[in-house]
């Protein structure tokens, strides 16, 4: 049982490049979400999913896309990276009464 895994751990992009942050969980949870963490801002919800085929926007969705084709995977796509997307990204998977967080992806956009 690996919990929530995220890849890559670190990534540097140039402005305008695209990339996908991967997230997977092996706990058969229906609910998954993506947060970004910026200094002094706490964590802010980007997108979430209540099950395969169902996604919705959170507080800060602009510039990001998600899809949920399987229960296990919930990738986050940056279509055209901007310096404002420099952040640490956390994926989370929710059980009965607890959210489990992945280790994070530290993204820098130059």
Partner 1 sequence: AQSVTQLDSQVPVFEEAPVELRCNYSSSVSVYLFWYVQYPNQGLQLLLKYLSGSTLVKGINGFEAEFNKSQTSFHLRKPSVHISDTAEYFCAVSDIWGSQGNLIFGKGTKLSVKP
Please report, as ranges, the residues that interact with partner 1 according to CB under 8 A.
30-31, 33, 35, 40-45, 48, 50-51, 58, 90, 94, 96-99, 101-104
Residue 16 or 56 with smaller CB distance to partner 1:
56
Residue 17 or 100 with smaller CB distance to partner 1:
100
Least distance (Å) from partner 1 to the CB of residue 31? 5
Query: What φ, ψ does residue 33 adopt, rounded to 5°?
Result: -150, 160
Side by side, the strands of the sheet bearing 76-78 are 4-7, 19-25, 76-78, 64-66
Which residue reads 């956390």 in tokens? Answer: 90
Residue 92 or 109 with smaller CB distance to partner 1:
92
Least distance (Å) from partner 1 to the CB of residue 15? 26
Least distance (Å) from partner 1 to the CB of residue 16? 28
Q: How many residues are present in the chain?
A: 110
β 4-7/54-57 pair status: unpaired
Determine contact, residues 87/107, Cβ cutoff 8 Å: yes
């Amino acid at each position: 049982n690996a919990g929530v895994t995220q890849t890559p751990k670190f990534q540097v992009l140039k402005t305008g490049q695209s990339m996908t942050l991967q997230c997977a969980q092996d706990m058969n949870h229906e609910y998954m979400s993506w947060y970004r963490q910026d200094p002094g801002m706490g964590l802010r919800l980007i997108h979430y999913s209540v099950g395969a085929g169902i996604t919705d926007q959170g507080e800060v969705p602009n510039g990001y896309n998600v899809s949920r084709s399987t229960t296990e995977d919930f990738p986050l796509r940056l279509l055209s990276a901007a310096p404002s997307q420099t952040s640490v990204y956390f994926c989370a998977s929710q059980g009965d009464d607890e959210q489990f967080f992945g280790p994070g992806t530290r993204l820098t956009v130059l």
